Structure 1
Amino acid sequence: MKDFIQESVFFGVFISLCTYEIGLLLKKKVNFPLFNPLLISIAATIVFLVGFDIDYATYEEGAKYLSYFLTPSTVCLAIPLHQQFEKLKKNWVAILSGILAGCLTSAICVFLFAVVFSYEHKEYVSLLPKSITTAIGMGVSEELNGYVTISVAVIVVTGILGNVIAEMIYKIFHITEPIAKGVALGTSAHAMGTAKALEIGEIEGAMSGLSIAVSGVITVVLAPFFATLI
């Protein structure tokens, strides 16, 4: 069985899609935030790899083909944004202010944690790009001489956490405005947050998709300054 899996070119794609489908089924049956398809998929994949003693490199060799769809799927976010362009024009000041506030809050929180827990410089700068998409975050971390692998892990965890707790946060703070929901998710939880935003509504998805790009640019500008603080 193990030899068959290792020789299969598309094993990584197959196990990824199967575990995600399991997550979707569980989410439909159990309406609870922790039953997030992405979170379940990650956990199930880890259990499978450990159970069959399959190393990550073997899994990644096949799973990498999924990443080819990342760019076209990201470009597709332009469609709901175009459909909601009038709302963007009407509320552009509030939207940009919200994204900037989110980026500043993220950077300040990382700085405060670094001070409280006495992070070293490399550890600190590795966390600065935690709320932006992986492609940009890796570049920021590398430019600041951080640990890129830690940055990637933190970005993924941030995205999953935002995806899982978003609706709970909205309920606690009585956030009902679709634009605010979308901006919050895209700015704080990048692509994984946008996936959740698209589930919630079309306006939320459009604003979240916009926020990914803008927050990435703002973080690229802010990160070098915050990096000098420790």
Structure 2
Amino acid sequence: MSGLAEAGEAVLEVLRSPLGLLALTLGGYQLGRWLQRRTGGHALAQPVLVCVVVVAVAIGVLGVEYPDYRRATELIAFWLGPATVALAIPLHRQAARLRGFVVPMLVAIIVGAVVSIVSAVLLARALGAGDSLERTLGTKAATTPVAIAVSESLGGIGPLAAVFAIIIGIVGAIAGPALLDLARVRDRRARGLAVGAVSHGVGASRMLREDETEGAFAGLGMGLTALAISVLVPLLALLLF
């Protein structure tokens, strides 16, 4: 029995190691991709969502603190930058479809960013949220790094801003295409732009699987919305806070 106990403890130590945590993360994502294929691409079978659940359960069972997990998976965070930049490749292929779409696109991005910021802050205020939470929620439509930086510059809670951005990204990727279908939005440029503006990287990857044009404009919407949020939040903060 002591030999089994020692073997079990050794396995747990391996899983708690940086290499073990990295393998758990990659394994959780691959499980999500497998489920997605098995369900025929069902909206709820988002690899990111499955990975989050798997990792959350794993580090809870293993007793690993989040800062330790974050340091162990720094390699994945590093490659998110090049992966985001790579979204420019499908956009370059679709450059011709920007003709006649630039002005409506910029207006939609700015209006959408303003609505996202103001509605989040006013809803939080109506529900009795504190000032720091209001400043945190205003950045929810931006990519995670931008949301953290902007919210902290306003006195918000950076880690919580990251949580909201990730949750919004997952929910938008799951529900966005279905809502666009209900609204009878058929233009692939508009569909991609809408999901990318709300759901950033997660939404862009979802739309890229749907159609290359939608994926390209989702990547563009993600970048433009992050820029708009970083500019508009400090300006609107003068009126809202």
Tell me if both proteins adopt one fold, taking TM over 0.5 as the criterion: yes
Alpha-carbon deviation of 1:34?
Answer: 1.7
Q: Which structure 2 residues correspond to residues 25-64 of structure 1 after superposition, within 5 A? A: 25-31=34-40, 32-64=42-74
Point out the more displaced range, 93-102 or 153-162.
93-102
Once the two structures are aligned, what percentage of the paired residues are identical?
Answer: 26
Whole-Å Cα distance in 2 between the matches of residues 97 and 67 of structure 1? 32
- Equivalent pairs, count: 229
In structure 2, the partner of 1:162 is 172
Deviations 1:84-122 (A, max 9, x none): 111113311121122122212201211320331122221
Q: Structure 2: which amino acid aligns with 1:126?
A: T
- Asked if structure 2 preserves the Cα contact closer than 8 Å seen for 1:12 and 1:61, the reply is no
In structure 1, the partner of 2:130 is 120
- Asked if structure 2 preserves the Cα contact closer than 8 Å seen for 1:11 and 1:59, the reply is no
In structure 2, the partner of 1:96 is 106
- Asked if structure 2 preserves the Cα contact closer than 8 Å seen for 1:129 and 1:151, the reply is yes
Q: Structure 1: which amino acid aligns with 2:108?
A: G
Whole-Å Cα distance in 1 between the matches of residues 14 and 68 of structure 2? 12
TM-score (norm 1): 0.93
Could you tell me which of 177, 183, 188 is aligned with 2:193? 183
In structure 2, the partner of 1:19 is 28
Q: Structure 2: which amino acid aligns with 1:101?
A: V
Alpha-carbon deviation of 1:152?
Answer: 0.9
In structure 2, the partner of 1:201 is 211
Q: Structure 2: which amino acid aligns with 1:172?
A: L
Alpha-carbon deviation of 1:10?
Answer: 2.0
Alpha-carbon deviation of 1:179?
Answer: 0.5
Alpha-carbon deviation of 1:216?
Answer: 1.5
In structure 1, the partner of 2:225 is 215
Q: Structure 1: which amino acid aligns with 2:90?
A: P
Q: Structure 2: which amino acid aligns with 1:161?
A: V
Whole-Å Cα distance in 1 between the matches of residues 21 and 182 of structure 2? 38
Please state whether the residue corresponding to 2:64 is helix, strand or coil.
coil
Structure 2: gaps spanning 5 or more residues: 1-10
Q: Structure 2: which amino acid aligns with 1:141?
A: S
Structure 1: gaps spanning 5 or more residues: none
Whole-Å Cα distance in 1 between the matches of residues 35 and 223 of structure 2? 32
- RMSD (Å) for aligned C-alpha atoms: 1.6
TM-score (norm 2): 0.89
Q: Structure 2: which amino acid aligns with 1:127?
A: L
Whole-Å Cα distance in 2 between the matches of residues 116 and 61 of structure 1? 38
